[in-house]
Structures are given as structure tokens and as C-alpha cells.
């Protein structure tokens, strides 16, 4: 039996929007949230696509996330915004905040926003990429549920805290870095678990904090908070740079959680009625330094240097950040491949809410 | 015979300043440059301390770096600066630019500067830490000589491109991340080579781009540009996150080199008469989001969460970014340990320039 099925994007879009509106999410917000989820699926990042719907629906139904996202600007200057998302939907908070950031950047050259009291906002790259249409650099960081260990720790007190930056180009695809600061996200462990394959020992630890290849045990420990978790980029030893991944993860949490006055570290999701996720969003207009045109031309040149540099033995291609995802999104313009398990979950949601699930 | 000798900081300071002024560096600039070098030694980062003096002296004597650093502000807004360092000394460019950044940040809440036509500026953390005295967040990035391979490449077209961020605290030591985006810097290979010890295979490749443990060969290849080089944070495979280290290195080059209109990638140091190194320096006043006091209190709380979290089996301490360096700098307030080879080089410089070397 096939593990996944090709489904029309339009069909998934209508279903997902209908699910959200049925739960009381305003139509505009339902469209925003759905678009962020489907962008992830189209880019091949299925862990952050409609697979998340079940969790979001659960949060709204259990009053852990409010369907009506009301952003409050708590403080602002010409180049900054402090926003409370009032425990609304992370995608709506991310999208609307990034639009405000872009507006201020067009006027004043750059802008940074911190957002507190939010929820999971999907792929960080969605928001950094919003800046590209105006030829701006976009930046998007978020803290997240504690799943990652500090170097030498066995207690997950940091999130996978991703870093995304998007830079416009002239003829090349934009440069879009979008990376968790752990070696791999939890979703990757789940893939190996389904295949019955041991994981490399730099990905996660057992409940005592010892690097392990036993993926089923790691996932069980994480689910039941028995100890252990994901290792930072660089694995478990300083020799391999574990302290760097750990430092980057902490940096993301400082800019998102600490700087917004919201939740950080193990405080996130510790209040069962409000996750408290925080984001850091920014944009920079190249015009305040050189010109947009010069910047984009130089980006093409930089990308050319990287791509055309000599390949290692046995390799025939050097990739640019975002390249694989752009290719995937292009292939999956109309149809995306969704795991059958996720489709089953969505059908159940549809049945429960009385929303037709024609897939 | 001992490999290194303890030398008084004051003695090294006077000698190094005298070397610079003898070469035509203005007294203020000599003091700045020397202080950045000695800060590295005191913090235990000897690769970026007075060991660099020989190279700097060579550059100035060969007219590859001008002793009189004249910064030109090419463009500015209330929150940004584009600066040309006119092929002056990187430390002077970094220090003076960061002071301008801090001034604008105190007035306007944040500021970012790009600097082009500069040279090696020493430890990135020196400049991010300058923001701490005013309770600001400091950011410091720089591109550097191409020594690092893109994932799947065998040609070094990226620098070790460090990321530094400093965040003020109340009672704790400040959080100071200062990390190369390669798994290790070249200096680490040199240490292993001197010990005759093989390197882990995620650190560097041979001339064909194959991960290797043969450190002497790697260093020879790098010196003679025969191919191969340092691997990004995450090593040589996507499984271990190589593409993330590579992406971060590219991000640093985009913000420093591309955004300043200066040199980037393999262009750096390709002009034998001017390295063309570029920096990105920034500061953020927490007051534009919450308050300085709240931020510093929450930083203490965040650091407490990390440090007090449960330790992995066999470990008794979780470190905070910068902690080891603060401890070292405290121990080495008056005396630093310098390798005998570096001291020999310095004595030769002294002899050559007629500067007394009383160590």
C-alpha cells in the first residue's frame, strides 16, 4: 500500500479553510493560515503542512488557542514593533506582523518586531520570503516547544528554534535559508522510526542524555517527558560543534522570547492553556546601504560563485539555500503528496466538524 | 621545553602598540588594535591574539593594508551606516563603526552598519560586547578569507564567517555567542597537527573534497590552494546538517559582503593589494520592545533555566555562551599564556623595527 497520496492543492485549500471557518476563525485568517500550511506542503516540508491541522483544531476546540487572532501593538517606533498575539493563531500573527514590518521598512529602511503570546507559526521561511516581493531582505525567527537539549544536558529546555533569512536576487532563485538549530527536527526521527532504521548518534539522546541510535525509544521518551531529546546542530560533543548549535538556539530564544517579554526556554507550553510562543520578524531595505539593483546583481554573482565552485569527488551539484524547496514547490504547484495517515486524520476532522473531505 | 610562556599583559600591550606606531599607525588606532588582540589572548582565543601581529606587520610593510585607517561614511540614515574602511586596519574599522552604531542606537533604538574595504578585525565578539556597557544587544558578523567548502564542494569559496551576539544581563555574566560557522577554525587543525593527532573526519576534506583525518595534508593543501578545506558546521553530509553550517556562512557573507557592495566569497583576498574584508555590525536597545531592566532580569532567568537543567550522564556542568571565555579572561587579567613560537616571531618583529621586546 502506498504511504502517501497525491491530492489537489485547491481541494486541500478549500477543506482546510472550511475547517478553520467552522471553528470560528474569520475567513481572512483561515485563508492566511491555510496558505502557510500549504506552502510548507508544496515546498516538501510536510511536517509543517496540513499534518499540523489536527493539533491546531485540538487547540481551538480545547480553548488553548483563540480562533479570533487580535494583535495588539504594545509599543512601536518608526523601526520597531512589540506585539501581543493574544494567544491567537501563529500564522495570522506572523503574516500580519510581517506586513507591518514591511510597511515600516519601506518608509524607514528597516524594521524589527517581536511578537509574544502567540502559537506555532508553521515554516519560518514563509514570513522571511514575504519581504522578497518588495526586494527587501526578510528575517524570521521563532522559539518553540522545548525538545532540544543544551550541550551536556539531558533535559529539553530549548526549542528547535529556526532561523530563516531571505535575500532577493536578479535572475537566480532568491536565497532562502530556513533551518532548525537542532541537527534535525523531530519529524525526521519519525520518518526513520517508520522505516525501522537506526538514527545517526548525533541526532538525539536517550533518557540519560547519552547519544543513541534507538529512535523508537527517543520518541517515546520525548512524548512522555522521560528525559533526553534532540541534539543541537553539531550533535552531542564540543568537538563536533554542539555548543554552536546550542548557542544559536539560545540566540533565537533571546531575540524572540526574552526580547518580547514573553515565554522562553522551558516556560513555553508550560501553561497548558496558552503556549506562549514568540517570534522575531524583520526586514532590511538594501537601499539604505547600496541599491536594490546592485544588491540583487551581487546576489546573483555570489550564488554563481557558490554553485560553480568545484565539486567534491562523487558529487555533481552544489545547492543554494532554498533551491531544493523552490524546485519542489514548482513541481507541486497543483498537486501535493500527503501521507495517508495525515489524510485519515483530516477525514476524521471533516466528519467531526461536518466539513466535506473530498480526497 | 615548555610550549608557551606567561607574559605580562602590560608588557605585551606596550610592545604591540609600539610596533604599530613605529609602522605609522596613529597612537589611538594602535591602542585600539592592540586592545582587540589582547582581549582575544585574555579570553583564551590565542589564534586571534598577538599571534596575528606578524601578518598585520607584513601587510602594512608590503602596502597591502594602510596604517592610517580613514573611515568614510558613504551613506547613512538614522538607523544605518554604510562605511568604507579604505583598506585600513579591521580592528579600527570595527571599533569606530561600532561606536557610531551605539550612538545611533541610543538615539533611535537600533542601528545596523555594513563596512567594506576592510581587513581582518580579530575576534567578532569584541564589537558585539561593546554594546553591553550601555545595556544594548550587540551583533557582529564578518566575512573572511576563503577557507571553507560549500556542502558537496572541494573549493574553499567561503570564510569561517563568524556570528557574534552579546546580550546584557543583571547578575549573570552577559550571554556572548562568538562562533565560526565552520565546525572548527583553521587554528584548531594546527593544534592537532602539532600534537600529531588525527582530526575527526567532519572537520576538513582532502584535495578531492573527501572527509579526511590527515591533518598535515589538509593544512598543506590549504596553504598551497591544492583543493579541499574546512567543512561547515555540521560536517560533510546533509545527514549531519552540513547544509545548515554552509547556509549560515553564506548568510554572514550576504549581510557583510553583498549588502555593503564589497567583496564576498572567493573574491576576498583575490586582490593581492587589498583583502576587501567586510563586516556587519549592529545594536538593539531592549527599550524599544520591553525595558532594559525587564530584559536583563529575564536574561538571568533564561540563563538559570539552561544552567540548572538536568545534566547528561557523566557531565556536571552546562555552559552558557561566553562563560568559559569570561572565566579565562578573569584568570588572565594580568598575565597571558603565549606560545613560544609566537614570542619568537614578535622578538624578530621588534628587532626588525627597533622596538624593545622585554619578554
Enumerate domains of chain A plus CATH numbers: 4-185+230-290+326-353 (3.30.1370.60)
Under the banding of pLDDT at 50, 70 and 90, the label for residue B190 is: confident
Average pLDDT estimate for B305-313? 98
pLDDT of B145 over the 50 cut = yes
Contacts of B14 (CB under 8 A, 6+ apart): none
pLDDT band at A195 (very low <50, low <70, confident <90, very high): confident
CA B334 to chain centre: 22
Cell triple for B340? 613560544
CB A36 within 8 A of CB A122: yes
Which string of b and e fits A227-252 if b means at least 16 CB within 10 Å?
bbbbbbbbbbeeebbbbbbbbbbbbb
CB distance A190 to A214 below 8 Å = no
**Planar angle of CA A223, A197, A37, nearest 5 degrees:** 55
Q: Which of residues 51-80 of A touch B (CB under 8 A)?
A: 75, 77-80
**B153 closest CB neighbour out of A155, A266, A312:** A312
Taking the Cβ of residue B311 and every Cβ of chain A, the question of whether any pair is shorter than 8 Å is answered with yes
Q: What is the DSSP string of A305-329?
A: HHHHSPBPTT------TTHHHHHHH
Chain A hits for B295, CB-CB cut-off 8 Å, are: 258-259, 261
Residue B174: phi and psi, rounded to 5, are: -60, 155
For the stretch A83-109, pLDDT in tens is 999 999 999 999 999 999 999 999 999
- In this predicted model, what pLDDT tens digit does every residue of A27-61 receive, in sequence order? 999 999 999 999 999 999 998 999 999 999 999 99
Pick the residue of A258, A260, A266, A313 with the most B CBs within 10 A to test the interface with B by mutation: A258
- What is the percentage of chain A residues whose pLDDT exceeds 90? 96
The region that residue B208 occupies, defined by phi over 0 for left and psi between -120 and 50 for alpha, beta otherwise, is alpha
CA distances for A84 relative to A115, A139, B189, B217, B288, angstroms: 6, 19, 48, 55, 14
Q: What is the residue-wise DSSP string for A284-303?
A: E-GGGTS-HHHHHHHHHHHH
Residue B3: pLDDT above 90? Answer: no
Under an 8 A CB cutoff, do B244 and A179 touch?
A: yes
User: Each residue of A301-353: pLDDT tens digit?
Assistant: 999 999 999 999 999 999 999 999 999 999 999 999 999 999 999 999 999 99
CB nearest to B309's CB, from A153, A264, A312: A153
Please indicate whether, in this complex, the C-beta atoms of A151 and B244 are within 8 angstroms of each other.
Answer: no
Q: Mutate which of B138, B168, B259, B260 to test chain A, going by most A C-beta atoms within 10 A?
A: B259
**Sheet with strand A277-284: strands edge to edge:** A72-77, A80-84, A110-118, A277-284, A137-142, A163-167, A175-179
The residue-averaged pLDDT of B102-121 equals 98
* Residues B310, A209: Cα–Cα separation, whole Å: 9
Q: For residue A344, which of A51, A81, A143 has the smallest C-alpha distance?
A: A51
Q: Which cell goes with A118? A: 502567540
Q: Residue A147 in contact with residue A156, Cβ under 8 Å? A: yes
pLDDT of residue A2: 66
A305 and B82: CB-CB below 8 Å? Answer: no
Instruction: For residue B358, give every residue at least 6 positions away whose Cβ sits within 8 Å of its Cβ, in sequence order, or none.
Output: B11, B15
pLDDT value of position A1: 47
Task: State whether B254 and A299 contact (CB < 8 Å).
Answer: yes
Q: For residues B85 and B96, give the distance between their C-alpha atoms in angstroms, rounded to a whole number.
A: 10
Q: Chain A contact for B326, CB < 8 A? A: no
Instruction: Tell me: pLDDT of B271 over 60.
Output: yes
Mean local confidence (pLDDT), B9-22: 98
For the ranges A121-125, A148-152, B2-6, the lowest mean pLDDT is seen at: B2-6
Q: Which three cell numbers stand for residue B231?
A: 567543512
- The residues pairing with B282 across neighbouring beta strands, listed in sequence order, are B112, B139
**Rounded distance, CA A246 to CA A241, Å?**
9
Distance CA B351, CA B329 (A): 30
**Is 70 exceeded by the pLDDT of residue B64?**
yes
pLDDT at B2 over 70: no
The three cell numbers of residue A349 are 476532522
Q: Check CB contact under 8 Å for B152 and A205.
A: no
E strand segments, A213-313: 277-284
* B250 inside 8 A of chain A by CB: yes
CA distance B226 to chain A (A): 12
Give the cell for residue A250.
Answer: 539560545
- Is residue A115 pLDDT above 60, yes or no? yes
Angle at Cα B182 formed by Cα A146 and Cα A168, nearest 5°? 80
Mean pLDDT of chain B: 97
* Residue A133 near chain B (CB below 8 Å): no
This complex has an ipTM of 0.98
Q: What is the mean pLDDT of residues A194-205?
A: 93
Is the separation of the CB atoms in B140 and B94 below 8 Å? yes
Are A154 and A208 in contact by the 8 Å Cβ rule? The answer is: yes
What percent of chain B clears pLDDT 70, i.e. is strictly above it? 99
Q: Are B71 and B96 in contact (CB under 8 A)?
A: yes
Cell of A53: 491541522
Residue B194 has phi, psi (to 5 degrees) of -65, -35
Question: What residues does B158 pair with on adjacent strands?
Answer: B148
pLDDT(B1) > 70: no
Amino acid at each position: 500500500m502506498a504511504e502517501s497520496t497525491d491530492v489537489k492543492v485547491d481541494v486541500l485549500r478549500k477543506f482546510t479553510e472550511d475547517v478553520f471557518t467552522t471553528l470560528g476563525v474569520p475567513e481572512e485568517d483561515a485563508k492566511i493560515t491555510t496558505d502557510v500550511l500549504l506552502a510548507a506542503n508544496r515546498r516538501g516540508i510536510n511536517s509543517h503542512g496540513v499534518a499540523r491541522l489536527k493539533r491546531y483544531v485540538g487547540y481551538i476546540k480545547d480553548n488553548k488557542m483563540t480562533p479570533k487572532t487580535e494583535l495588539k501593538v504594545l509599543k512601536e517606533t518608526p523601526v520597531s514593533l512589540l506585539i501581543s498575539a493574544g494567544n491567537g493563531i501563529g500564522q495570522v500573527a506572523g503574516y500580519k506582523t510581517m506586513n507591518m514590518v514591511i510597511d515600516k521598512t519601506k518608509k524607514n529602511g528597516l524594521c524589527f518586531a517581536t511578537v509574544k503570546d502567540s502559537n506555532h507559526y508553521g515554516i519560518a521561511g514563509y514570513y522571511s520570503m514575504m519581504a522578497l516581493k518588495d526586494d527587501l531582505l526578510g528575517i524570521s525567527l521563532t522559539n518553540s516547544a522545548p525538545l532540544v537539549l543544551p550541550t551536556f544536558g539531558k533535559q529539553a529546555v530549548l526549542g528547535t528554534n529556526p532561523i530563516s533569512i531571505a535575500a532577493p536576487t536578479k535572475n537566480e532563485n532568491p536565497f532562502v535559508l530556513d533551518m532548525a538549530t537542532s541537527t534535525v527536527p523531530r519529524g525526521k526521527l519519525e520518518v526513520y522510526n517508520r522505516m525501522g532504521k537506526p538514527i545517526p548518534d548525533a541526532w538525539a539522546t536517550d533518557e540519560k542524555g547519552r547519544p543513541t541510535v534507538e529512535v523508537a525509544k527517543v520518541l517515546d521518551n520525548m512524548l512522555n517527558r522521560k528525559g533526553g531529546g534532540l541534539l543541537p546542530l553539531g550533535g552531542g560533543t564540543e568537538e563536533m560543534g554542539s555548543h554552536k548549535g546550542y548557542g544559536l538556539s539560545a540566540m533565537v530564544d533571546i531575540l524572540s522570547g526574552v526580547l518580547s517579554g514573553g515565554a522562553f526556554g522551558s516556560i513555553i507550553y508550560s501553561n497548558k492553556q496558552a503556549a506562549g510562543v514568540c517570534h522575531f520578524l524583520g526586514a532590511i531595505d538594501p537601499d539604505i546601504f547600496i541599491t536594490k539593483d546592485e544588491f540583487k546583481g551581487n546576489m546573483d554573482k555570489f550564488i554563481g560563485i557558490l554553485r560553480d565552485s568545484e565539486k567534491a569527488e562523487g558529487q555533481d551539484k552544489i545547492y543554494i539555500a532554498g533551491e531544493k524547496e523552490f524546485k519542489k514547490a514548482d513541481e507541486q504547484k497543483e498537486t501535493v503528496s500527503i501521507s495517508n495517515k495525515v489524510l485519515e486524520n483530516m477525514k476524521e476532522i471533516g466528519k467531526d466538524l461536518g466539513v466535506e473531505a473530498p480526497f
